[in-house]
Amino acid sequence: MVRNLVYHKKGMCVMLLLILLMAVALIGRLGYLMIGAADHYGALAREVQERERSIKAGRGVIYDRNGTAIATNKPVCTISVIHSQIEEPERVIEVLSKELELSEERVRKRVEKVSSIERIKANVEKKVADRIRTYELAGVMVDEDYTRFYPYGTLASKVIGFTGGDNQGIIGLEVAYEEMLKGTDGTILTLTTASGVEIDGAAENRIEPVNGRDLYLSLDVNIQLYAEQEAKKVMESKQAKQVSVIILNPQNGEIYAMVNVPEFDLNHPYDLSVLQQEWQTETEPEEKLATSAGQSEMDQYNNMWRNGCISDTYEPGSIFKIVTATAALEEKKVLVTDQFFCPGYKLVEDRQIHCHKRAGHGAETFKEGIMNSCNPVFMEIGARVGAESMYQYYERLGLFERTGVDLPGEANSIFHKLENVGAVELATMTFGQSFQITPLQLLSAVSSVVNGGRRITPHFGVKVMNEEQGTVEQLVYEEKETGISTVTSETMKTLLEAVVSEGSGKNGAIEGYALGGKTATSQKLPRSSRKYISSYLCFAPANDPVVMGIILIDEPVGVYYGGTVAAPVMERIFENILPYLGVERTLPVKEAETPEE
């Protein structure tokens, strides 16, 4: 009996010890949950008890060089529904279908979907959203939002680009500067019950959005308008396929205008004429594009949005003679006074390669050869320089690589491999055939020739400004030395001035101004198509250029020579923009004759 009592006491002690250990463990666990893991479980509780709604950040504004806004934000609203809070589903479906001009079937599908929050439509006009608010429908949320707005519509559309339904850049500068422009969205956190119903009177936790930074460009709205206006006129009069114009400062690479007509409306970037009726349906453009657009339609979008100035390569024709002449002068393979003879062709190996003047130019100096744009003269000096040395100058002038312009989608040049360049290939390359470059690559290379030998980076972005913080970031672009001497640069400017004042570019001359320039007429491949690109490059003032432009007229009908078709268009553009840029007339201006009485 005594033994049993001892066993009983021991059992009680063990039981008490176990209970004590369990109590300590529970207290420890409770302490850990209340103190050590309080943040973790508090966050989990908030996830269950809070509903998150986005507050869109305002996208940064894009300004031209004069501070004119060319891409801004327009206030709109996003209409959503919260399934657990809807009290009159049929009424909600009826109102939203009518006000948002959507089918009842589409609205019903989203209203009846069991989810924490379901978006019905984004980018809703504010006046429409305000009308929806007046119905005071339980479970219908109206949130403030922004959509991109382009005050000038079609202006520089393929340069500026546009944004999608999520306000993210799609093409152009909107993509290139996405990280600077987009900002950071904010949130509204609302307390809810376990069933997802918002608690009346509960405070909202609001995280304010951070707006994107503003971008200032070198692009000038007025110069762009001048250039677009003239490009449209010549496109219509010559029934051309398209017309491209680039205007830049050859000293620093700032681009003042980049035209690709026909342009498209940035506020309606999916507005294709063949799809016009389809876009009038309720489907969002991005949804239509993703779900039903066929390959042929995608091709149409790509063609409409494509920036030919940087994405399309072509044979530059006689404008490229500027590069050939520069290499020959720098290598001391030719003097301005050297004599040549043009019988209308040059025999290279077993091929007879013609001059554009089949009858020939006869005896002429190197200067006259440039003024006359004589092919045999350039084939001769190209042979003197040789393929290997010529390729070294192509490399120095950046013709084997992209310019680095701050736009997406830039193409690169297409050249023969050096080991595949024979006498015939070299001869045709000297006057701009048998290889392809982009218009911007050509303009960049010629900029180096006339600015003293500096290779600039063409660009639009000048500075980025943060209005809230009051900070400004100046954008810096790389410059390289090409090794082209000042002497060669000065000689080339003098020769190209003679082209405009006395030679093939005289239709581009402007009274009172000393201009340099070069014309070109490029035959498109296949040669049998007899289709041409008429082009003209010029700069002013000739002795110290601050502005340079190039125009390309693709497949003009009728007369197609660059000096006849393209030069007069650039003359009209420059006649407007030179006074605007403060470039003064330095040559005598003929006085108008007074009519006899």
What's CA 499's distance to the chain center, in Å? 33
Burial letters 197-206, b for 16+ CB under 10 A, else e:
ebeeeeeeee
Burial letters 377-413, b for 16+ CB under 10 A, else e:
bbbbbbbebebeebbbbbebbbbeeebbbbbbbbbeb
How far, in Å, CA of 258 to CA of 219, rounded? Answer: 8
Residue 30 amino acid letter: L
Hunting for tokens 């003024």 — which residue is that? 371
* Residue (of 142, 188, 138, 146) closest to 163 by Cα position: 146
Q: For residue 135, count CB atoms less than 10 angstroms from its CB and return exposed for 0-12, middle for 13-18, buried for 19 or more.
A: middle
Cα Rg of the chain, angstroms:
35
CA–CA distances in Å: residue 238 to residues 224, 241, 246, 252: 21, 9, 20, 34
Choose, from 157, 244, 318, 504, the residue flagged as catalytic.
318
**Cβ-contact 533, 550 below 8 angstroms:** no
**Cβ-contact 507, 564 below 8 angstroms:** yes
CA atoms 116, 121, 122, 124: torsion sign: negative
Hunting for tokens 């039981």 — which residue is that? 15
**Cβ-contact 149, 72 below 8 angstroms:** yes
How far, in Å, CA of 573 to CA of 584, rounded? Answer: 16
**Cβ-contact 258, 156 below 8 angstroms:** yes
How far, in Å, CA of 580 to CA of 22, rounded? Answer: 89
Residue 376 amino acid letter: P
214 strand-pairing partners:
465
* Residue (of 497, 545, 491) closest to 247 by Cα position: 545
Count of CB atoms situated within 10 Å of the CB of 275: 18
SS3 350: coil
How far, in Å, CA of 484 to CA of 398, rounded? Answer: 13
Element housing 494 (H / E): helix 486-501
How far, in Å, CA of 219 to CA of 399, rounded? Answer: 24
How far separated are the first and last CA of the chain, in Å rounded? 155
Residue 499 amino acid letter: V
Cis peptide before 151 (omega within 30 of 0): no
- The token pair at 229 is 């206006």
318 belongs to the catalytic site: yes
**Cβ-contact 444, 400 below 8 angstroms:** no
- The token pair at 141 is 């949320």
Residues catalogued as catalytic:
318
